[in-house]
Chains A and B, each alone.
Chain A
Amino acid sequence: MTKSKISRRRLLKSGAVAAAATLCTPALGAAPQRLSFLTWNIIDQEPMIRGWIKRFGARWPGVEIEWLDKKGPEIPAFYQTQLAAGTPPDVINTQGALGLEYADQGALLDLTPRLQAEAAVRERFNPDYLANWALEGRNYMLPFYITKTLLFYNKPMFLRAGLSGPPQSFAELLAAANETTAENASGFLTLNFDWLYWPLYAMNGVELLSKDLKTSTFNTAKAIEVTERLALATASGAINKISWTGRWVEPNGAFAGGNVGMLHAHSPAYFFIKGQGNWVGADTLGVAHAPGGFATPNSHGLGISKASKNPDLAWEFLKFVTDEGAQELGVNRRLVTGNTAVDTKNMAALERDDPLVYAILKTQLEHTDKMVGNWRLGNDSAMKEAFWPELQSALLGRRDARSALAEAERKVARQLKRG
């Protein structure tokens, strides 16, 4: 009720933040001016974040902001406990589909009305990325920094194998993998957590669920064929086993070793590869879209806890971070933020200073309409739990594709039923 009143009042206001500040302060004045901001493992950016807090504090006198940073795997434990205790951080940063799960639990504030009230803010973002955190049509998070999968390839190996460029279809991909496979070299690697391998299926027209997310649609002849071919390639060594067993360090580390033809991973992988592989450079590391331009996003979003004592202030902070903050973050971390204006500006600078990173980030902003493997599910992790182990065993040839997918279908159906 009051929320909508406030947003209506906002409508009349000019977008100029300063003005908004002066007009808005009384509205917020009543509530105690405290915010806590939980970030996901970006402790290295401490100076920047302290700077944000200072600048925001200057704009909103008397506001203190507590900054918490936890490393990824431990954030759920921390946040859930805080939820249970009724003291969740006001502004939280999550990765992948976790935000949707919290939204589904009723932990997050529905940002839709605010976005409708402030078109200017909505317009900031690449709509496809913004839509990543839309559950049943309601927006629960704003893009903080964005990533999706792409295809890295080892140019020297491609040359030696007489390949002109990156593959353009699933068939070509497997062929290229075969070509580059050798004595102690394998052709293809992919990350497998958070559905990041899904483009391999999407490029064959396989979808996990129906549009309405009510029924599973993956147990098809095509899917079985694709799985069989992948399993075959894995058995032959053309696809590196680590693709299906590794997490983050193992596959990226293997590719950095310099004897793997292609790596299907999301953009942050580059910085890890660069750190470990001394062969990595603009003329040796190829960057391309996966065939068909399909990619699975794994972005970082910012949301507001429903239990927040002063959501309006949190919203102001969110707007601040996804604008000025994003600008700074993009430069420091060399990443794209989903804020179109910011990214255009930063990319222009990068094109000069670091062409390779530019090329990589460019893929993140293209084909954003071809994002797959990001079904807006409230129980995404449970769904993964139901689906992945079965597929994994098929891909590793521990059971045949047909029965594995049938089993997976049974389990997915059960998850859909339980909701």
Chain B
Amino acid sequence: MRLPDWAKSRWVVVPLSAAACIAAWNGYVVLNAGGVVEGRVVDGAGRPVPGATVILLERNFITHNERQRTTTDAAGRFRFTGNDNHSLQLEAESAPLGRSDRRLVRLMFRAENVTLAEPLRFAGRLP
């Protein structure tokens, strides 16, 4: 079948395709907005640090405020759930090693599920 001419005018085509893109993007967002933030914590030598406290700070205008804390498991992994922000900072603390670097994690949309590619790293090494 042939489209009527009005349907071919750019005033129809462009907005429709734009709408399509937006719909697609929103679909993607809905599927991936689980609010899960996970990653690993390692020491200077790259060995996993169990029992370290990981702090999650979230952005509010110009400052980042602490939101949640958790501790790493035996494999140095941690997992936050229920994050609903789009710009986070992660930091690890552990008695022997002090503080890790503060990692800025920016998301493409609120509550995007994210897994740190690079683990949080302490300067010092575990004995």
Contacts and interface: CB of A to CB of B under 8 A. Distances in A.
Interface of A: 43-44, 271, 275
B71 to A, nearest CB: 22
Interface SS of A by simple majority: helix
Interface in B20-79: 60-63
A205 to B, nearest CB: 40
Contacts of A275: 62
Contacts of B60: 44
Contacts of A44: 60-63
Nearest to B61: A44
Interface in B67-96: none
B38 to A, nearest CB: 27
Contacts of A271: 62
A271 B60 CA distance: 14
7 contacts: A43-B61, A44-B60, A44-B61, A44-B62, A44-B63, A271-B62, A275-B62
B18 to A, nearest CB: 30
Contacts of B62: 44, 271, 275
Contacts of A43: 61
Nearest to A334: B63
A250 to B, nearest CB: 19
A167 to B, nearest CB: 31
Nearest to A47: B60
A275 B64 CA distance: 12
Contacts of B61: 43-44
**Closest 7 CB pairs between A and B?**
A44-B61, A44-B60, A275-B62, A44-B62, A271-B62, A43-B61, A44-B63
Nearest to B65: A332
Contacts of B63: 44
A71 to B, nearest CB: 13
B104 to A, nearest CB: 14
A275 B61 CA distance: 12
A43 B62 CA distance: 11
A256 to B, nearest CB: 14
A353 B123 CA distance: 22
Nearest to A44: B61
A271 B62 CA distance: 9
A44 B62 CA distance: 8
A44 to B, nearest CB: 4
A271 B61 CA distance: 13
A272 to B, nearest CB: 9
B33 to A, nearest CB: 21
A44 B59 CA distance: 11
A117 to B, nearest CB: 39
A43 B63 CA distance: 13
A418 B38 CA distance: 68
A44 B63 CA distance: 9
B99 to A, nearest CB: 14
A275 B62 CA distance: 8
B68 to A, nearest CB: 17
B126 to A, nearest CB: 28
A275 B63 CA distance: 9
B60 to A, nearest CB: 6
A226 B60 CA distance: 44
A237 to B, nearest CB: 32
A191 to B, nearest CB: 20
A224 to B, nearest CB: 43
A43 B61 CA distance: 9
A43 to B, nearest CB: 8
A43 B60 CA distance: 10
